[in-house]
A and B are shown apart, each in its own frame.
Chain A
Amino acid sequence: MQARNPYASYQIDIPKQYQDLVKKYSRSADTKTSPEYAPFERQVDIWFLAFLIAVNFDLDPIREKDRYGAVSAAILDRDPYRISLIQICALGKTKNIEILKESRATFDFALQMANAGFPKLFQILADNESTPLFSLLDELECITKPT
């Protein structure tokens, strides 16, 4: 297990263009919204799933300049395994062990991968055939299906 959060001092930035969507699909802004329509409890959760989707789809990281600070990365203390997954994904993606000692680099990797993953994520969430949650889960079921 991780002894500490190397990303605690960092800010989870999300492209501004996705700010509304992030808020829309997360219940932090309106806790009364049904999970079915706002599947994510927190913005960090939607950010992290965007990261994971990007990793899954092997998307290229995308740098965004116009971003907003959604939440402090210290929030990752609550889910320390996410830190591990960011690191291992960075390692697995880069194949460079050295990246592990570069917390900033791995964090950026996460940010950029999330940036790449947001469009796909929002696309899935916006599927009218079902509610955002079930659209997402169904898609996730598909994309994680072993080949």
Chain B
Amino acid sequence: MKLRKAYIKNFRLLKNLELNFSTSEKQPLTVIRASNETGKTTCLRALTWALYGKNALPKSKGNTFSLAPADMNQQSNVNISVEIEFETDTVMNPGRPNQNIKKKIYKLKRQVTEKIMPDEGNSQLNEFLDLYEVTESGLKSISENHEINEIIENAIPKELKDIYFTDGDAAMSFIEASASKGVKRKRVSDAIERLLGLDSLENAIRHTGDIASRFSKQIDNTDYASALTTNKDMIEALEMELKHEDENVRVAEENIKDSNSGIEKTQASIDEIIRHGNRNELIKKRNDLQERKQSAENSGKESLIRLASILSSRSLANSLISGVGMAGMDILNQMSEKKQLPKANIPVMKELLERSKCFCGASLDESDGEGNKRREHIKHTITASEEADLLSEVATSLYYSLRDEEFGKDSRDVWMKTFSDNVNKLAQSDGESQQCNHDLEQIEDKINGLKDKSLEVYKTKMRAHRETLSSSQIRLGEATQQMRSLEAKIAQAKSKRAQLERKLDRADVNTSKMRTARIAEEVFTSIFNKMKDQEVDAVSAEMNRIFLEMIGASKDPENNELSLISRAELTKDFDIAVYGPNGHKLNPDDDLNGASRRAITLAFILALTSVSQVDAPNVIDTPLGMMAGYVKQSVLLRAIEEGSQVILFLTQDEIKGVERILDKYAGIVFTLTNPAHYPEMLVNKPEVEDLRIIRCECNHNVSCHICERKFIEIQ
């Protein structure tokens, strides 16, 4: 990148200033001759502000760095702008065979409106950045901010602005004694990193480190793998238990089915038994019937016996002999009527003798006189009777034995009643017996039709089936319930498993990402360190070369005992070290003069630009201060040689002694004058009335009415 020109408007003292820069390769030097307080630093700031915005401005505590000219009216809005025209070499078709480098010219304009408020601090409004590509067809606007920034960044990276836009004093910061060693090292380290792009790498390291940390924080330290294993084991156990319960369900269902079938069959058997009758009940019935039958038969037999007894009955006999009997009784009756039958009966009388009283109640007691008397009479009668005819006896006995007998119809009625009654009873008995026989037959048939097993056996079987059914149903319920519970647990465990897997994945992902980030960080760090080491060595070597050339140190210090400085080195610790004869380390603060110190810092900067191979202008404000003679020339020459475009703000004093170099290498030289130096330092009164830097085209060899300065010698 090369600066072509810049137009600065209202940027502090630079109210209307155009700067143009040499882009010649043969005369790459641009010299802007300017005394102190002539806006040199302001020019640098204007340029960097244009490129990088307010971040390039010095940090002012609490206040915005004011850009507007100090003499602007209060409460006025000042339009501030800086235009830079620059050219870059853009690689067309990078990486392709037809790759070529094309020069592109851009016009950059940054502008801002600043409201003048001295007491409160100026406020900046409406900052705009425009970039145009200068093409053959005109200005081509680059509207996208990111594209603008990319082009600028490619031209001169922001991190390098302090390298390429620097002043000699700032360069001294690398070795200035006022800074602590750590500060100096950091400055050197930062400079190296910035120029070599190591800060990008360092940013990448930091970024990847942050990413790694972020992922690390996202990593759950929970041992999800272990938890997942436990979870999977649990699922396996639950599934096995589920399988077991499923088997239990199946067995229970089968048992239920079998039990129901058994119940059905047993019930059918029971029903059949009941239809046919219970064997025991049938047997009991049979027995009852048999008893009834027996009873009936017995009753029948009794009836028969009673009927048969009629044949031997008195009444039958009387009825059979009725005529003859009555005829015989007639004869006896006649005899009785004729008193031919004794009234007394000897047996009766003999019986009376055995009694103490007569049938009539009279006493027959022997101790009793009357009784004894009667007894004697009876004895007498007995004797008399015995003395009667045997016939009379028999006839009399017969008569009295049959006197009350009924012959004929009455006696017939007696045995006929018996006959009738017992015939009826016999008929009943026979009927009962027959019915019993009939019933017995049926019962016997039923009994014979019964199966061997009794109802009780089937009832026992039924109970067993029902018990099995009940227990199976309970078991089925329990197993089903258990299955549901297990299924829910399994679902829950699987959900947990998925969760763990996700977390594991995430953990793995996060771990993976973290590791990737860490690896990237390590790689970047490694690259960074390596590059740093390499670049440090490279810079060190280059710095040493440039520095020694600047100061005119012998190229063979070992053979030149007069050389004070044998070499300069950029250590791994980012110390800029200078060594004297025999490798003795010199203290830059004590052992180097100001010129050498400035030279070495410039050498460091130039070494950085050389090693970085960044094609960017070196814009240095007063690089040659404190230098004189050989060193000044050498430094200038080295700067010109090492830089691709060197833009130097030089005071008149700095120019002294290097005019020939400027003549040779300065493509553009012009002078900036601060009218405020009139009359102390300027010969002529400036023609402007406000505070502003004025440019004239005088070079180091001439001066004009604007820039002519007085020779001042302070007494």
* Interface residue ranges of B301-338 to A (CB < 8 Å): 301, 304-305, 307-312, 314, 316-332, 335
* Interface residue ranges of B380-438 to A (CB < 8 Å): 389-391, 394-395, 397-398, 400-402, 405, 408-409, 412, 416, 419
In the complex, how many angstroms separate the beta carbon of B272 from the nearest chain A beta carbon? Answer: 42
Complex CA–CA separation, A134 to B422 (angstroms): 11
Q: A92-B324, A92-B331 are in contact. Are A137 and B310 (CB under 8 A)?
A: yes
Q: A39-B311, A133-B307 are in contact. Are A146 and B408 (CB under 8 A)?
A: yes
In the complex, how many angstroms separate the beta carbon of A91 from the nearest chain B beta carbon? Answer: 4
Chain A 29-70: CB-based contact to B (< 8 A → 1; otherwise 0)? 000001110011100010011001101101000000000000
Give the interface size bracket for B toward A. Answer: 35 or more
- Complex contacts, B397 vs chain A, CB 8 Å: 1-3
Answer yes or no: A115 CB below 8 A from chain B CBs.
no
- Complex contacts, B332 vs chain A, CB 8 Å: 88, 91
In the complex, how many angstroms separate the beta carbon of B386 from the nearest chain A beta carbon? Answer: 12
- Complex contacts, B331 vs chain A, CB 8 Å: 91-92, 95, 97
Q: A34-B304, A81-B317, A146-B409 are in contact. Are A89 and B311 (CB under 8 A)?
A: no
In the complex, how many angstroms separate the beta carbon of A24 from the nearest chain B beta carbon? Answer: 14
Answer yes or no: B347 CB below 8 A from chain A CBs.
yes
Q: Which residue of B lies closest to A101 (CB)?
A: B391
* Interface residue ranges of A92-147 to B (CB < 8 Å): 92-93, 95, 97-98, 100-101, 133-134, 136-137, 140-141, 143-146
Q: Which residue of B lies closest to A82 (CB)?
A: B317
CB-based contact A137/B419 at 8 Å: yes
* Interface residue ranges of A2-19 to B (CB < 8 Å): 2-3, 6
CB-based contact A97/B391 at 8 Å: yes
Complex CA–CA separation, A45 to B409 (angstroms): 22
Complex CA–CA separation, A93 to B307 (angstroms): 29
Complex CA–CA separation, A51 to B332 (angstroms): 21
In the complex, how many angstroms separate the beta carbon of A9 from the nearest chain B beta carbon? Answer: 16
Contact of A100 among B311, B326, B398 (CB under 8 A): B398
- Complex contacts, B317 vs chain A, CB 8 Å: 48, 52, 81-82, 85
In the complex, how many angstroms separate the beta carbon of A98 from the nearest chain B beta carbon? Answer: 7
Q: A2-B397, A95-B327, A101-B391 are in contact. Are A146 and B412 (CB under 8 A)?
A: yes
Complex CA–CA separation, A56 to B400 (angstroms): 23
- Complex contacts, B312 vs chain A, CB 8 Å: 40-41, 45, 48-49, 79
- Complex contacts, B323 vs chain A, CB 8 Å: 58, 92
CB-based contact B401/A41 at 8 Å: no
Q: Which residue of B lies closest to A46 (CB)?
A: B311
Complex CA–CA separation, A80 to B398 (angstroms): 11
Answer yes or no: A72 CB below 8 A from chain B CBs.
no
- Complex contacts, B408 vs chain A, CB 8 Å: 146
**Most chain A CB inside 10 Å of its own CB: which residue of B309, B312, B416:** B312
In the complex, how many angstroms separate the beta carbon of B99 from the nearest chain A beta carbon? Answer: 150
CB-based contact A144/B412 at 8 Å: yes
* Interface residue ranges of B324-372 to A (CB < 8 Å): 324-332, 335, 346-347
In the complex, how many angstroms separate the beta carbon of B382 from the nearest chain A beta carbon? Answer: 13
- Complex contacts, A137 vs chain B, CB 8 Å: 307, 310-311, 419
Q: A53-B320, A85-B317, A137-B310 are in contact. Are A91 and B328 (CB under 8 A)?
A: yes
CB-based contact A35/B320 at 8 Å: no
- Complex contacts, B316 vs chain A, CB 8 Å: 49, 52, 140, 144
- Complex contacts, A87 vs chain B, CB 8 Å: 328, 394, 398
Complex CA–CA separation, A84 to B328 (angstroms): 11
CB-based contact B311/A136 at 8 Å: yes
Complex CA–CA separation, A39 to B422 (angstroms): 14
- Complex contacts, A133 vs chain B, CB 8 Å: 304, 307-308, 311
- Complex contacts, A140 vs chain B, CB 8 Å: 310-311, 316, 320
Q: Which residue of A lies closest to B420 (CB)?
A: A141
In the complex, how many angstroms separate the beta carbon of B652 from the nearest chain A beta carbon? Answer: 183
CB-based contact B328/A56 at 8 Å: no
Q: A88-B398, A100-B391 are in contact. Are A40 and B311 (CB under 8 A)?
A: yes
CB-based contact B419/A81 at 8 Å: no
CB-based contact A89/B325 at 8 Å: yes
In the complex, how many angstroms separate the beta carbon of A31 from the nearest chain B beta carbon? Answer: 11
CB-based contact A55/B321 at 8 Å: yes
In the complex, how many angstroms separate the beta carbon of B337 from the nearest chain A beta carbon? Answer: 14
**Most chain B CB inside 10 Å of its own CB: which residue of A52, A53, A81, A134:** A52
- Complex contacts, A92 vs chain B, CB 8 Å: 321, 323-331
**Most chain B CB inside 10 Å of its own CB: which residue of A41, A89, A145:** A89
Complex CA–CA separation, A56 to B320 (angstroms): 5
**Most chain B CB inside 10 Å of its own CB: which residue of A34, A85, A95, A137:** A85
Complex CA–CA separation, A31 to B48 (angstroms): 163
Complex CA–CA separation, A85 to B332 (angstroms): 13
Complex CA–CA separation, A145 to B346 (angstroms): 39
In the complex, how many angstroms separate the beta carbon of A23 from the nearest chain B beta carbon? Answer: 16
Q: Which residue of A lies closest to B347 (CB)?
A: A3
Complex CA–CA separation, A6 to B393 (angstroms): 12
In the complex, how many angstroms separate the beta carbon of B614 from the nearest chain A beta carbon? Answer: 155
Complex CA–CA separation, A136 to B415 (angstroms): 13
Complex CA–CA separation, A57 to B670 (angstroms): 203
In the complex, how many angstroms separate the beta carbon of A87 from the nearest chain B beta carbon? Answer: 5
Q: A41-B308, A48-B312, A88-B402 are in contact. Are A93 and B391 (CB under 8 A)?
A: no
CB-based contact A85/B321 at 8 Å: yes
- Complex contacts, B390 vs chain A, CB 8 Å: 101
- Complex contacts, B305 vs chain A, CB 8 Å: 35
- Complex contacts, B324 vs chain A, CB 8 Å: 55, 58, 88-89, 92-93
- Complex contacts, A91 vs chain B, CB 8 Å: 327-328, 331-332, 398
In the complex, how many angstroms separate the beta carbon of A124 from the nearest chain B beta carbon? Answer: 11
In the complex, how many angstroms separate the beta carbon of B310 from the nearest chain A beta carbon? Answer: 7
- Complex contacts, B308 vs chain A, CB 8 Å: 35-36, 39-41, 133
- Complex contacts, A45 vs chain B, CB 8 Å: 311-312
CB-based contact B304/A35 at 8 Å: yes
Complex CA–CA separation, A105 to B305 (angstroms): 33
CB-based contact B304/A143 at 8 Å: no
CB-based contact A97/B395 at 8 Å: yes
- Complex contacts, B307 vs chain A, CB 8 Å: 35, 39, 133-134, 137
Offer 8 A-B interface pairs, CB within 8 angstroms, sorted by A.
Answer: A2-B398, A55-B320, A91-B327, A92-B328, A100-B394, A100-B398, A133-B304, A137-B307
3 tightest A-B contacts by CB? A92-B328, A35-B308, A92-B327
Further contacts, 13 of them, CB under 8 A, given A85-B317, A93-B328, A144-B319:
A36-B308, A40-B308, A40-B312, A48-B317, A84-B402, A87-B398, A88-B328, A88-B332, A92-B328, A97-B391, A100-B394, A133-B308, A134-B307
